[in-house]
Structure formats: structure tokens, C-alpha cells
Amino acid sequence: MKLLILIFYLLSFASYVLAQETVEDIDGNLYHTVIIDHQIWMVENLKVIHYNDGASIPLEMDENNWSNLTTGAYSLTEENSEEYQENYGVLYNFFAVVDKRELCPDGWHVPTASDWRMLIDNLGGTKLAGGVMKDINSQFWKVVVDNANNNSGFSAFPSGGRGRLGSAGDVGYYATWWSSTSEDEIYAWHWGLYPDKNKIRFNPGHKNSGFSVRCIKDD
């Protein structure tokens, strides 16, 4: 019986392979990649602070200014900003995500809601996917779930986020990523991981929120 369980476990994750390919953004940051079924994802959160045409993405740390933006911007935590960017990437508002000048390198894009749903289906559904996505080597997660692992190779880091009206927070506890899919004029879809559960959550978030971005390779 134990042998059958082991075989099932190995077969279940046989399609999740770290790719040899790395990809570079316009700022020279390098990202590793992972193949999950037929999708190829970046293993790290996006760090770029320029669009693909070379234009700067504004850094906005002021809470009032951030909440009133209608154009693209990024944010960091209040302390250890350089260390945060290196470990977790940066937090973008939705206007940066959908800017026509593009965040992701050529040949890559911010995942759509459909891209995210396919990933979650490939990882066993919403109740299990979060557990096989969490990085377990960096010790960045401040809450450890016993059966969480990184069998998918996705290597999710708890970068926290920024609310529409607040400063960046929850670093070490939550991981949240934008999709490029709007719900309406105010909200857009995002996906995220809990600190103490293996579920993955998804719902529309305010477009003035600040979340991480993971790029996926074009078909």
C-alpha cells in the first residue's frame, strides 16, 4: 500500500520540472523558470521598475497619493526596501499590470484569470494547490504548515501586499499576485496564499491595491 501511495505521489508531480531557461527583464534582473504541466512560470516575483519601452514605473510610498492613483506605480515596504525588492520583488498596482508598455519581458505576460485557474487545476485544486506552491527553503514564511512543500517548483514567497488605503504589510504571512483580468472598473482578479493553510484564495481586489506579479510564458 505504501508503495502504491509513493508511486501515485511521484506520478502526480512528474510534470513539474525546473526549466533550464532563465529570462531577463529590461533592468537586467534574471528569473528562473519552472514547467508546470504545459505552462512555464517564473520562479521569482517580478522586480522590474521600468516598462519594456524603458519608461520608469513611478515609486509611490505615500499612502494618500497611492490610494488616488489612476496610472501605473509600484511600492515597497517602509523598511529595508532594497532587501525587500531583492527577496520578494515589488508591489504593483493594477494600472501598471495592464499598461500597454508591459511589465513582463518579451515573450512573457502577466497571467490571465484563465492562466491561474489552469495552474490551480494542475496542482490539485484550490484546497491543495497552495501547499505545493510554498517555498520551504528560505524560511521567509513565518508560519509553517506541516504538509506544505514546494513540489510544484513554484516557490511562493510571502511578500505581503499593500491595501488601497494603507502601507505595505503582512510580509512573511501572505503571498498575493495579480492577474491581468478585470472584474469591473474598480476591481480585478488576484490569487494568494494563506500563512496557515494549504488552500489558495482568489477574488477581485481593488485596482489601487499593491500585489506581486509572476509572469508566464506566451503560448
Q: Pick the residue with more confidence: 5 or 115? A: 115
Please give the distance of CA 69 from its chain centroid, rounded to a whole number: 22
Q: How many DSSP H helices and E strands does the chain contain?
A: 6, 12
Rounded distance between C-alpha atoms, residue 219 and residue 216, angstroms: 9
Average per-residue pLDDT for the chain: 90
Pairing of strands 187-193, 175-182: antiparallel
Q: How sure is the predictor about 12, in pLDDT bands with cuts at 50, 70 and 90?
A: very low
Strands 216-217 and 168-169: unpaired
Lowest-confidence range among 26-30, 137-141, 202-206? 137-141
CA nearest neighbour of 193 among 214, 208, 207: 214
Q: Is the confidence at residue 11, as pLDDT, over 70?
A: no
pLDDT in tens, 123-157: 999 999 999 999 998 889 999 888 899 999 999 99
- Judged on CB neighbours under 10 Å (0-12, 13-18, 19+), 187 is middle
pTM passes above 0.85: yes
pLDDT at 21: 86
Q: Check pLDDT > 50 for residue 183.
A: yes
Q: What is the pLDDT of residues 29-78, one digit of tens each?
A: 999 999 999 999 999 999 999 999 999 999 999 999 999 999 999 999 87
Other Cβ atoms within 10 Å of 86 Cβ, number: 12
pLDDT at 18 over 70: no
pLDDT digit string (tens) for 71-100? 999 999 876 688 899 999 999 999 999 999
Distance CA 83, CA 166 (A): 21
Q: If 0-12 CB within 10 Å is exposed, 13-18 middle and 19+ buried, where does residue 98 land?
A: middle
Reported residue count of the chain is 219
> What's the average model confidence in pLDDT over 22-34?
97
Q: Could you give the percent of the chain with pLDDT greater than 70?
A: 90
Alpha helix ranges (H) inside the chain: 2-12, 63-67, 81-88, 94-97, 113-122, 129-133
Query: Distance between CA 41 and CA 22 in Å, rounded?
Result: 11
How many structural domains does the chain have?
1
> For 97-115, what is the mean pLDDT?
98
Residue range 7-26: average pLDDT?
A: 61
- For residues 140 and 7, which has the higher predicted lDDT (pLDDT)? 140
Print the domain residue range for 76: 2-217
Distances in Å between the Cα of 24 and the Cα atoms of 31, 40, 72, 191 are 6, 15, 21, 24
